[in-house]
Structure 1
Amino acid sequence: MADAPFAVLTGAGISTPSGIPDYRDNQGVRRGRQPMMYQEFLAAPESRRRYWARAMLGWPRVRQAQPNVAHESLAQLQRAGQISALITQNVDTLHDQAGSHDVIELHGSLHRVLCLDCGQPSERDGIQRLMEAQNPYLAGVDAVQAPDGDTLLDPAFEARFQVPHCPFCAGERMKPDVVFFGENVAQATAVKAMAAVEQAAGLLVVGSSLMAYSAFRLCRVVVDQGKPLIAINIGKTRADELLDLKIEASCEALLPQLAQRLSP
């Protein structure tokens, strides 16, 4: 990485030390129940009620999560000119909070909410306050945290839930500005990520199983261009057969050493 800047692609493994659960185990197998599908979210008011009831209880932990030394090390490497681009599959904004800039968010951000009726964005904190005011019966309910701000909530708590309405048009179809399972990455984002890896000297994958095709396809492009593909990840990845080097170590242990070595 010292000779020419690599692009970096990060996944859930970099944020688990910050207290945000990941979707998959070390073999790349999805944990727990099936996440909400995009088509399901769009099709039924009951699905949106279920999603938002769980998300209301899961948001505080995402909101309070702090960057860890792995995020900070990547920000340090970027400042030192050792990273050409930073692409993340994560929706927690911890890279931004650590000081990284121009982060390409493949799957969006939980910190934003979009109205599917009028297209206006809202800050997640504002929508959270609205939901808490409309659903005081959930105050103090303890729910097990799940990936991406979701929780494992008893369905009995969902039936009474009042879903948030758009502050601009009063529409009921509010959606977090993230890519759901079954939904495509925004075209402009996909193009930007592809250009970033095409222009880089190689790609370093950090904390990702690469099971999502939106990330795996970037690895394929790097390999097709004859450039090095390296991964820091504990456990199986979808690109294991393509990797030039795989380091099975925790990113919060290894990245600070890399940053110390490569930063002036």
Structure 2
Amino acid sequence: MNLPAERDSHRTPLEDFVFAHKRLFVVTGAGISTDSGIPDYRDGAGAWKRSPPMTLQAFMGTALARARYWARSMIGWQSFGSARPNVAHRALAAMEHAGRIELLLTQNVDGLHEAAGSLNVVDLHGRLDRVRCMNCGDIRPRDALQQRLIAANPDWLEVSATIAPDGDADLDGVDFSRFNVPPCLVCDGILKPDVVFFGENVPRARVDTAWAHLDRADAMLVAGSSLMVYSGYRFVLEASRRGLPIASLNLGVTRADDLLTMKIERPVAEALAAFL
């Protein structure tokens, strides 16, 4: 299977990079999903656009923190849960099916790479479409919890809020103590989205899988990530240490600017559309 650009003599530098390497280790971040209607976290200088996300310590620390999280999530999920893959997701799926990608390591929790058809994906920070009990480990679909949240808090659907990253919504100045959070259906334990919060470790198996694929990669492509979070940045550090060529497709600064072989500052979907 040949990608269209493989037959084109007028390639861009990004196309030259991709077609010069047959085993790309691809790292993606929030910038790849903005064209699907999911906001990103940081501005062009790498600074937070809003308050940092919930930490594990805060979430597990108080019932009020959990009520705040799930109230915002209930509203945000209406948009986040209906997001669909964009050109960038579909292009990376096409590149994988053409045999160009060794692994797609995403820092996103939206599941859009899999929805676009990518198969060899490591969801480094988990998936927001699953909910896990912190006591018994039971895992259920997020859509099922959404119905329970709505049934327990019907009036909250009328609250107006701005959609934020990761299924969240900017909702402040309200009394979150009035919000009812359903417990685990198995053991009445605390329910948490099956994602890695700040202050929480990435499961060892995911990291080990990524390292194993990096051993087989011949180059790295970073798409839509400033790499400010160490869990993703460490793979770029190791790729640089091994002497692998590294290309970045991102608007604004990245934490790895001094490690890059190539830096392309263009919208991700616009640049990757050439691979469809």
Q: Which amino acid aligns with 2:125?
A: H
* CA deviation after TM superposition for structure 1 residue 34, in Å: 2.8
* TM-score, scaled to structure 2: 0.91
* CA deviation after TM superposition for structure 1 residue 157, in Å: 4.3
> How far does the alpha carbon of each residue in 1:202-239 deviate from its partner, in whole angstroms, 9 at most, with x for none?
11000000001011100011111111011011100000
Q: Which amino acid aligns with 2:204?
A: Q
CA distance in 2, matches of 1:120, 1:155: 33
1:132 equivalent to 2:156? Answer: no
Could you tell me which residue of structure 1 aligns to residue 106 of structure 2?
Answer: 88
CA distance in 2, matches of 1:113, 1:181: 17
Is residue 198–residue 221 contact of structure 1 (8 Å, CA) maintained in 2?
Answer: no
Is residue 15–residue 68 contact of structure 1 (8 Å, CA) maintained in 2?
Answer: yes
Superposed CA RMSD? 1.1
Could you tell me which residue of structure 2 aligns to residue 249 of structure 1?
Answer: 266
Unpaired stretches in structure 1, ≥5 consecutive residues: none
Could you tell me which residue of structure 2 aligns to residue 226 of structure 1?
Answer: 243
Is residue 23–residue 216 contact of structure 2 (8 Å, CA) maintained in 1?
Answer: no
1:193 equivalent to 2:194? Answer: no
Is residue 45–residue 253 contact of structure 2 (8 Å, CA) maintained in 1?
Answer: yes
SS at match of 1:241: helix
* CA deviation after TM superposition for structure 1 residue 140, in Å: 2.2
Could you tell me which residue of structure 1 aligns to residue 72 of structure 2?
Answer: 54
SS at match of 1:159: helix
Q: Which amino acid aligns with 2:220?
A: L
Is residue 72–residue 98 contact of structure 1 (8 Å, CA) maintained in 2?
Answer: yes
Which residue of 158, 167, 170 maps to 2:188?
170
> How far does the alpha carbon of each residue in 1:36-79 deviate from its partner, in whole angstroms, 9 at most, with x for none?
11111111111111111111101111111111000000000000
Is residue 81–residue 167 contact of structure 2 (8 Å, CA) maintained in 1?
Answer: no
Could you tell me which residue of structure 2 aligns to residue 14 of structure 1?
Answer: 32
CA distance in 2, matches of 1:102, 1:6: 12
Q: Which amino acid aligns with 1:231?
A: S
CA distance in 1, matches of 2:65, 2:120: 34
Task: Identify which range, 111-120 or 191-200, moves more after superposition.
Answer: 191-200
Aligned pairs for 1:197-208 within 5 A: 197-208=214-225
Is residue 22–residue 99 contact of structure 2 (8 Å, CA) maintained in 1?
Answer: no
Is residue 93–residue 117 contact of structure 2 (8 Å, CA) maintained in 1?
Answer: yes
SS at match of 1:216: helix
Q: Which amino acid aligns with 1:89?
A: Q
Is residue 198–residue 222 contact of structure 1 (8 Å, CA) maintained in 2?
Answer: no
- Kindly report structure 1 stretches of 4+ aligned residues shifted beyond 6 Å: none
CA distance in 2, matches of 1:194, 1:45: 37
SS at match of 2:129: strand
* TM-score, scaled to structure 1: 0.95
CA distance in 1, matches of 2:105, 2:254: 17
Task: Identify which range, 2-11 or 124-133, moves more after superposition.
Answer: 2-11
Which residue of 229, 250, 268 maps to 1:212?
229
CA distance in 1, matches of 2:49, 2:270: 24
CA distance in 2, matches of 1:256, 1:198: 28
CA distance in 2, matches of 1:71, 1:179: 22
Could you tell me which residue of structure 1 aligns to residue 162 of structure 2?
Answer: 144
* CA deviation after TM superposition for structure 1 residue 198, in Å: 2.4
> How far does the alpha carbon of each residue in 1:232-261 deviate from its partner, in whole angstroms, 9 at most, with x for none?
11100000000010011111111121x15x
CA distance in 1, matches of 2:151, 2:175: 16
SS at match of 2:132: strand
- Number of aligned residues: 258
CA distance in 2, matches of 1:156, 1:84: 47
* CA deviation after TM superposition for structure 1 residue 155, in Å: 3.6
Is residue 14–residue 70 contact of structure 1 (8 Å, CA) maintained in 2?
Answer: yes
Which residue of 130, 149, 157 maps to 1:112?
130
Q: Which amino acid aligns with 1:138?
A: W
